[in-house]
Amino acid sequence: MKFFRHRLLFAYSFVVLAFLYLPILVLVVYSFNRSRINAVWEGFTLDWYLSLFQNERVIDALLNTLFIAIIATLVSTILGTAAAIGLSKNKIRFRSAIDGLIYLPIIIPEVVMGLSLLIFFSQLHIPLSKLTVIIAHITFCISYVVIIVSARMEGMGKQLEEAAQDLGATPWQTFRYVTLPLIMPAIIAGALMSFTLSIDDFVISSFVTGPDSTTLPIYIYGMVKRGVSPEINALSTIMILITVVLVILSERFGQKDADQTTSKRLPF
């Protein structure tokens, strides 16, 4: 009976995974199809990838995506880390309400958030451009950074910081040589997660994107409306590969044990 349950669980898990990932696998396979018709396989080719990177519109969309993602990641990582440290080290009134506000950009539907940002920018008479997209991405990336870094701050405790201060370290030395190395894996994980979310975002970006700030997800959507071609499959495959790599790196840094840094001799 136990063997039967294990086999049934394995079969169920296989069906669920196949349902989730089989369409992605088909898309990746047909990105190497020589035929322009996705329903017919005519042989292996890399021509669609070569023609993709000769397309100036694709290059412009890629550069816009990377520029927006890098700026949004840097700003959200700095602000999110500072907020997480401040919330962890200080007793603040209405902490539960503040935590709720931090989770709000993650919980609310993206359509609602995108529409609210569009109304906000229109009320301030800010034209839609790369700046509005960057601000929009920062608003939801900060929450992920705060959550990841705060979890690390809560997990490491205060004993090491207190020990460093007892040994004569100044607050800045304690932060630089104790706190920062311990939370660095969480900071990197939050930055990678922010970068991944930024380059993948479509719904919010579609509300706040201007004529000169088209990102890759929006460009892919525009191509799909004209019909699915192997170039779309190739571009989607590249996006999937980048996303998977960044998520794996984020998980690796998020689970890394930073306690090894305590074995180093502190310079005070």
What average pLDDT does the segment 81-95 reach? Answer: 81
Q: 């800045």: which residue's tokens? A: 172
Indicate the range of 1-10, 97-106, 254-263 predicted with least confidence.
254-263
Banded model confidence at residue 108, pLDDT cuts 50, 70, 90? confident
How high is the pLDDT of residue 186?
A: 87
How high is the pLDDT of residue 265?
A: 46
* Domains of the chain, earliest start first: 60-263 (1.10.3720.10)
DSSP string of 143-197, one letter each residue: HHHHHHHHHHHHHH-SHHHHHHHHTT--HHHHIIIIIHHHHHHHHHHHHHHHHHH
Residue 45 in tokens:
């080719």
Between 8 and 121, the more confident residue is 121
How high is the pLDDT of residue 227?
A: 66
| Cβ count within 10 A of residue 26 | 12
Q: What is the DSSP letter of 258?
A: G
pTM recorded for the entire structure? 0.78
Residue 59 in tokens:
């290059």
Banded model confidence at residue 255, pLDDT cuts 50, 70, 90? low
Banded model confidence at residue 258, pLDDT cuts 50, 70, 90? very low
What is the torsional sign of CA 142, 146, 149, 151?
Answer: negative
Phi-psi region of 210 (alpha: psi -120 to 50; beta: other; left: phi over 0): beta
How high is the pLDDT of residue 18?
A: 86
What's the gap between Cα 141 and its chain centre?
A: 7
Which is nearest to 67 in space by CA: 268, 260, 214? 214
User: CA-to-CA distance for 119 and 136, rounded, in angstroms?
Assistant: 12
- Per-residue b or e along 105-136, where b marks 16 or more CB atoms closer than 10 Å to that residue's CB: beeeebeebbeebbeebeeeeeebebbbbbbb
- 50 pLDDT above the threshold of 90: no
Cβ neighbors of 77 (< 8 A, separation 6 or more) are 145, 187, 190, 191, 194
User: CA-to-CA distance for 136 and 113, rounded, in angstroms?
Assistant: 9
> Distances from the Cα of 221 to the Cαs of 91, 148, 203, in angstroms?
46, 31, 11
How high is the pLDDT of residue 254?
A: 60
| pLDDT tens-place string over residues 124-169 | 999 999 999 999 999 999 999 999 898 888 877 677 777 887 778 8
